[in-house]
């Protein structure tokens, strides 16, 4: 097979798999019932078994409507939040996406089914290694996992049509916003990251037009803090 043809195949989103029954019930009860309407997002999440993306001790709880620990002070977001963030990205098949914070790789696996290419950044080596294995197991060949500090993005592959940040910062760095293509959009949580009950965060969306970035607030959220520096 010609090299160019092989590269094109690797960049394509994986074919949609048969819906996984527990995942399909999760989508119906926790996403569709709460207002998520993008059928492509619902279909992608229905086809992925979340049990593959959590540690053994939490596999019986994988489909519950709550975040779960994945070790190293990190969590896999609750299904509803994954659905909300993905829907607000408004993904198209030709898009290139940057994800900051790979974690369990569940969000990256969802994105891989909706766009051409995903570059996902993880600062913790052990999580980066397990993410590659999980993504390989579900056929997500269009995802590149990079073990690095993601707080400033990844300019080596910029610009991106979409950026998704899965941990909260007090504010979004300008250098990360500038890695968006013109017309691109970013979804990220911002706000207090101290972790106490008084901490408040907002899930927001930025849209780039030329050198301007318009912000739209989506909903209140609670995320783990975005930590700078690779381990």
Active site residues: 77
Q: Are 162 and 183 in contact (CB under 8 A)?
A: no
Closest C-alpha to 14, from 118, 150, 88, 85: 118
> Do residues 63 and 88 touch, judged by C-beta distance below 8 A?
no
- Give the Cα separation of 139 and 210 in Å (integer): 36
Element spanning 5, H or E: helix 3-11
Nearest to 103 by CA among 132, 78, 139, 75: 75
Sign of the four-CA dihedral 163, 81, 37, 60:
positive
DSSP for 116-158, please give it: SEEEEEESSHHHHHHHHHHHHHTT-TTEEEEES--TT--GGG-
Three-state SS at 212? strand
């Amino acid at each position: 097979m010609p090299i160019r043809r092989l590269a094109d195949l690797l960049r394509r989103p994986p074919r949609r798999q048969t819906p996984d029954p527990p995942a399909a019930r999760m989508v119906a009860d926790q996403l569709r019932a709460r207002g998520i309407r993008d059928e492509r997002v619902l279909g992608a999440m229905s086809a992925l078994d979340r049990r593959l993306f959590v540690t053994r001790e939490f596999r019986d709880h994988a489909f519950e409507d709550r975040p779960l620990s994945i070790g190293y002070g990190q969590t896999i977001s609750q299904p509803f939040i994954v659905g909300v963030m993905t829907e607000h990205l408004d993904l198209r098949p030709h898009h290139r996406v940057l994800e900051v914070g790979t974690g369990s790789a569940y969000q990256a696996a969802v994105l891989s089914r909706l766009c051409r290419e995903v570059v996902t950044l993880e600062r913790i080596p052990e999580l980066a290694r397990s993410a590659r294995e999980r993504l390989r197991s579900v056929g997500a060949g269009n995802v590149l996992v990079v073990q690095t500090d993601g707080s400033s993005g990844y300019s080596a592959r910029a610009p991106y049509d979409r950026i998704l940040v899965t941990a909260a910062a007090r504010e979004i760095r300008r250098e990360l916003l500038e890695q968006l293509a013109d017309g691109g959009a970013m979804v990220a949580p911002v706000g207090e990251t101290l972790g106490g009950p008084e901490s408040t965060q907002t899930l927001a969306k930025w849209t780039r037009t030329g050198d301007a970035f318009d912000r739209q607030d989506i909903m209140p959220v609670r995320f783990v803090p975005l930590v700078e520096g690779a381990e």
